[in-house]
Structure 1
């Protein structure tokens, strides 16, 4: 697939590394041109202008939640586009969420762009886990996927599987209200409780 990654931080770098490794054609759009160029050169991706970024099959929003709407607006018309939202609405100290219960970051972004096919995914995974690959502690790391558009969810599941991760259907987009607190809890365990960033949440199923 042709995939645009918005951002050039740690999560964006993890995506670019794994997506290019999986054979996807990857484009990077970032505020810091030098950082974006360096990331593209490191992993064999390309940088592009915001106006051309929307031509991709999938757009990954790898920014902070506070930057998300402006980053997407810079791309122009996104009607019909599959957007993967990985954001968590974190407080300044990363130890709490600024949204929850009656809405979510994903829903707020979707409300700002009613024509897009927004999918919540990858928000429970640390950049270090993403960059290292899908295996952790002898198991495949799950990616929880929430969306109202079944076709968009299937497209994102295909991307997840192409990277070797396990795709878990987490229901409709409103379930981002659960996934974002789960992402916040994972961040607390990693930093607040000192467990480090090579951890990931999962569910154990007795079959």
Structure 2
């Protein structure tokens, strides 16, 4: 199985790249989606979060109040680490299951793990190739404000809470520059996918 770790800072354009890779034929496993699954109502993950952070992070319908939890963990590094200790092992186990399912019929298929916190939490050792989607921090903050309606101070806090551009660049095998245009980002992604297919086929044949 050839697994690509796809990462990038918040609002860097990673979702655009992931969507394009999926359209081209890659199996895309979304870490954020898995992270929601492991804290759905009734799950052990949500119960453990409520025990650690209080019932105030659970909405009346039994679902996680993401805004309330986010307000806690993005202003308290220790709290964020506690949350990651609860969710990350569960997400890791579920992601491996989904990856194996994706290549059951085609061992040479490119598997892309779309993971925002690859540098911060997942680590690079389990991936065959690391792709970083890059846009300058100032641009990402502006995108959060204009596209998501986020307060500038909160946007800065979200960006600062993640790994730096330098830390991500240090682990990258490929970098997609998303700071110019959508067309440019897609063109870079198309060329990347062609290279990834070759690498996946080579590994399957080895």
Q: TM-score, normalised by structure 2?
A: 0.34
Instruction: Answer 1 or 2: which has greater strand percent.
Output: 1
Q: TM-score, normalised by structure 1?
A: 0.34
